[in-house]
Amino acid sequence: MCTLNSPLLVSGWLVLALSGVPGTLSAQTRPGEKSSFRSSLVNIEAAASETFRYSTTLANGTGQTRLYDLRAGIPDGWSVVFRVMGTPVTSVNVEAGKSQEIAVELTARSDSKPARYKVPVTAISAGDSLNLNLEAALKGAYALELTTPSGRLSEEVTEGSNREVVLTVRNPATLPLENVELSSQHPTGWEVTFEPARIDRLDPGKTSEVKARIKVPEKTIAGDYAATFTAKDSHANAAASFRFIVKTSALSGWIGAVVIMTSVALVYGLIRRYGRR
């Protein structure tokens, strides 16, 4: 007779624990269960710029291993990706009496109209055709545009000066944008501020003007300089690349000319004074 502490009984408990009986229901079908294709969520709402992600389970209730081809009926211009453990797949092997977790990712075309889209998904094998009906509720799209009223993206500036550039931030999409922030990448030593620095709300089809104030440092070497202005919120962003042509000021030019003339006069005087010796 086996006591509670006997090696035989302990070994039996270890075998049961290591076999993973309580934890195999997600990977193994119940006895007598039919093949199926299920999803924890069949209806997901998202914007056109976001991905619809569904967690599905494909169960093989037959007595033999099956290779299932995965297909989806998607709207024109949409895309679908099936993933198993993060890897894109087009088919999957499922052993007899087992199940496989499959992620289904749908991406809508950017100009798709807000609506509810039916997406039939099918897993096809030699002896099974399992159907799963998904629904993608497209609530619209997010987008941003950043430019100037004239569309011109270049300015002439003078070293040591301040210049104001008017930017237009537009929402061409179908969903409102909130807390749109302005920022810039500019040459070292330059200063750029925005008024306003943040747009609290920008409704679809609306435009907001922002003033960018640029301060060019003294003694900036003449030439072409690049700066990038960016507008973004949590859903969309836009950038505009600007070209600034820096010219020296008239005063700097006169000072330079005076320095050159003085240097020439000094050299000429030295030559006349010491050249005969």
Residues 172 and 114 in one domain: no
Beta strands in 176-274 (DSSP E): 177-185, 191-195, 198-202, 207-215, 223-232, 237-247
Q: DSSP assignment, residue 29?
A: P
Question: For residue 13, is it within any domain?
Answer: no
Only one residue has tokens 């300089």, namely: 225
Residues 50 and 82 in one domain: yes
Question: For residue 262, is it within any domain?
Answer: no
For the question of whether the overall pTM of this predicted structure is more than 0.85, the answer is no
The predicted pLDDT at position 5 comes to: 46
Only one residue has tokens 């003339």, namely: 261
Amino acid, res. 245: I
Q: How many domains does the chain have?
A: 2
Instruction: Report the C-alpha gap between 113 and 116 in whole angstroms.
Output: 9
Residues 78 and 112 in one domain: yes
CB–CB of 229/184 below 8 Å?
Answer: yes
Residues 157 and 246 in one domain: yes
Give the end of a domain, one of 77, 105, 138: 138
Find all residues with CB under 8 Å of 245, minimum gap 6, and list them: 154, 155, 156, 157, 223, 224, 225
Give the end of a domain, one of 113, 138, 163: 138
pLDDT in tens, the chain (277 residues): 444 444 444 344 333 333 333 333 345 655 557 999 999 999 999 998 899 999 999 999 999 999 999 999 999 999 999 999 999 999 999 999 999 999 999 999 888 889 999 999 999 999 789 999 999 999 988 999 999 999 999 999 999 999 999 999 999 988 999 999 999 999 999 999 999 999 999 999 999 999 999 999 998 999 999 999 999 999 999 999 999 999 986 545 545 555 676 666 677 566 766 665 5
Domain membership of residue 80 as a residue range: 26-138
